[in-house]
Structure 1
Amino acid sequence: MINSVITGSGHYLPNRIIKNDYFHDYVFFDENGEKILKPGDEITQKFEEITEIRERRYVEDDLLNSDIATFAAKKAIEESGVNLEEIDYIIVGHNFGDIDPIGKQIDIMPSISAKVKHNLGITNLKCKPYDMTFGCPGWIEGLILAHQFIQASIAKKILVIGSDTLSRAVDPHDRSAMIFADGAGAVILEAKEDDYKYGILNYDSLSYTGPELDYLKNGKSLNPDYKGSIKNIRMKGRKVYEFVLKNVPPALTDLLTASNLDLDDIDKILLHQANAKMDHAMIERLYKSYGKKAPENIDPMTVQFLGNTSVATVPTMFDLIAKGQLQPHQFNANDTIIMASVGATMNVNAVIYKFKK
């Protein structure tokens, strides 16, 4: 049988570490356009209590999203040992393309995937670049698409990247700006023939485009006098929180059932992370639905020191664990993991992945 297997992974994290005290002098406004009069240290302290985020990374001013996507890609390619010219597709999950650090102008032409192909120096005309705009679940959706290509014998070697520079897409007067961060993660997914099943076992993807469409979108600054970008991330935090707890645990349960697996068969759950409190509640609700208590260390966390890096969260976490850089977490032979995400639209998706024996 043909398996879809991750043969190499890589990530890039910017060097600029932004701690919460960076925001102490920010002037924040509420949803009614009224200035929040609480002192900065009080605002950031409350923020950390809710999200557990204490620091995040911001990309350097001389780099673009396509640059850091390329950095992560190079590491994944090197580890996999694939020939650049044998890559059939480059799929890049992102939300804003390249963003000019000064004018905050969004640039998605040429596409990020085309720029990555150019940066890598790939000359193979049959290597197709695809951009995946699917909110924070974009990288997992790219992985699902790559798997479908491999299973349909359309491709054998696919580069899948998740990369965003969200620090350039936030409203500096919105407290949610403290959530978002920058980074990139990448994997090579290859077709591997074997007599037993491993790699991607199953997947599911759901798209909610009713009232949920407005839970995460772009909008004007909360500060009516702001002269910067008119397109900034706007998030209805409470709505997102309620949506996640209502919809993600059942989606994972349905996927496990469809895969003839029990929750006890899962060794790790790699979740997209925007808010640690939300992720903890999600895992607790999932295990409670099975009448179980979540095992210790079942859900690795990076949000505390990396913030919400959107499409880069899951592939970065995967690579950190694979490289032994997120102790005590590790992947072992024959482990089965879930990688899942939820984000703008709202979209929910997940992949069940099994490591080789």
Structure 2
Amino acid sequence: MPAPSISSVITGSGSFIPANIIDNSHFLETEFFDAQGHRLVGANETIIRKFHQITGIQERRYADAGMVNSDLGYHAALLAIENANIDPETLDYIIVAHNYGDVKDGCGRVDMVPTLAARVKHLLRIRNPYTVAYDLPFGCPGWLQALIQAHYYLQSGDAKRILVIGAETLSRVSDPHDRDSMIYSDGAGAVVLEALETETKTGILSHLTVSDTYSQAHWLRNTHSYNPDKPQEQLYIKMDGRKIYEYALTTVPQAIQKCIQKAGLDLDDIQKVLIHQANEKMDQAMLERLFKLYGKAEVPAGIMPMTVNTLGNNSVATLPILYDLVQKHQLGDHTLEAGRPLVFASVGAGMNANAVVYQMP
């Protein structure tokens, strides 16, 4: 008989979605400026309507004033640990993907020492000194890249059980005078990834990552507020939306296709495509481009669940939140069928993009 395979399998998931719902009407009284510091022409109703048409975002979530990013990650981790039914002392690694650390409400300063992973481990009251806790900043694809790293640890035999968290509070680093700020939100998601003996390979089947920095490194960056009356030393997240949109449409579908090919599968084998929730129009365009790469004009209904409409873009948290909601039957009629593969994919600052083919056990 062939030797059993060591598979990297998600055994538990959890998500923490802040209770504060911020509707698009929240921005009706906002003063919006362009990159040159000029007040945007036109009524805010028009600006917000166009924003909704492009992004699909109707509302987003903001963290409570008394909470920071590591708190969000901790609550998501608790739920993932409970869902996996494990003792947290048995974790070999805790990896937290984020980009801005803990940012207190109304402060704007990035706090990353100690690491968020260390803070989460502290909040979990884990005594085991061999539970290694570290952070991974990799733009919006950070959580998926952390999952890939965890997979390597498990496949090498260095670890048996890893907690992978994606958490961000982008509302606290977005310029309130930049219309792009309406995209950003807060949240956290987590999974427990374990090395399990299986008769055939399941869980993570393949992965692929690309980093394009030659001319693309600063398409997402930190600069001052567009409002010239605001202190210019304060930095906020900024992006070249059109360039990122075009990059995503070119890069992500090809990355997914190559990842599916690495797994020895075809697009018809894939039950769901879980894409980073940045922009509804962009995600739909990437999915359509993926199907065109396979010579398919029709995209099956229901293959791409979405959360961006009501949760906004919370960066590294979007994929683990999306997975958790679908896995727990909390996102409409979407379900995940055992024994069939799905695809994770993300794109963001760097510019970085990645994909994982994951077969449900």
The interval holding the TM-score normalised by the smaller chain is: over 0.9
**Among 293, 296, 300, which residue is 2:301 paired with?**
296
Query: Match of 2:21, SS?
Result: strand
Q: Distance in 2 between matches of 1:179 and 1:229?
A: 23
Counterpart residue number, 1:200: 204
Q: Distance in 2 between matches of 1:140 and 1:3?
A: 17
- Aligned counterparts, 1:1-357, within 5 A: 1-227=5-231, 230-292=234-296, 293-356=298-361
Gap runs ≥5 in structure 1: none
The Cα of 1:79 is off from its aligned counterpart by: 0.8
The Cα of 1:229 is off from its aligned counterpart by: 6.2
Identity %: 49
Residues 104 and 229, structure 1, Cα contact 8 Å, conserved in 2: no
User: Cα deviation per residue 1:43-98 (whole Å; 9 max; x = unaligned)?
Assistant: 11110011110000000000010001000000000010111111000000001000
Query: Match of 1:98, SS?
Result: coil
Residues 164 and 184, structure 1, Cα contact 8 Å, conserved in 2: yes
User: Cα deviation per residue 1:101-153 (whole Å; 9 max; x = unaligned)?
Assistant: 12211100000000000000000000001101000000000000000000000
User: Cα deviation per residue 1:183-227 (whole Å; 9 max; x = unaligned)?
Assistant: 000000001012111111111111111111111011111111113
Residues 67 and 104, structure 2, Cα contact 8 Å, conserved in 1: no
Query: Match of 2:7, SS?
Result: strand
**Letter paired with 2:316:** V
| RMSD of aligned residue pairs (Cα, Å) | 0.9
Aligned residues: 356
Q: Distance in 2 between matches of 1:62 and 1:229?
A: 25
- Residue 228 to residue 74, structure 1, CA distance change in 2 (3 Å): farther
TM-score of the superposed pair, with normalisation by structure 1:
0.98
Residues 103 and 229, structure 1, Cα contact 8 Å, conserved in 2: no
Residues 88 and 155, structure 1, Cα contact 8 Å, conserved in 2: yes
Stretches of 4+ aligned residues off by more than 2 angstroms: none
Query: Match of 1:213, SS?
Result: coil
User: Cα deviation per residue 1:244-270 (whole Å; 9 max; x = unaligned)?
Assistant: 011111111111122211100100000
Query: Match of 2:217, SS?
Result: helix
**Letter paired with 2:131:** C
Residues 200 and 354, structure 1, Cα contact 8 Å, conserved in 2: yes
**Letter paired with 1:59:** A
Residues 108 and 234, structure 2, Cα contact 8 Å, conserved in 1: no
**Letter paired with 1:40:** N
The Cα of 1:230 is off from its aligned counterpart by: 1.6
**Letter paired with 1:80:** A
Residues 73 and 189, structure 2, Cα contact 8 Å, conserved in 1: yes
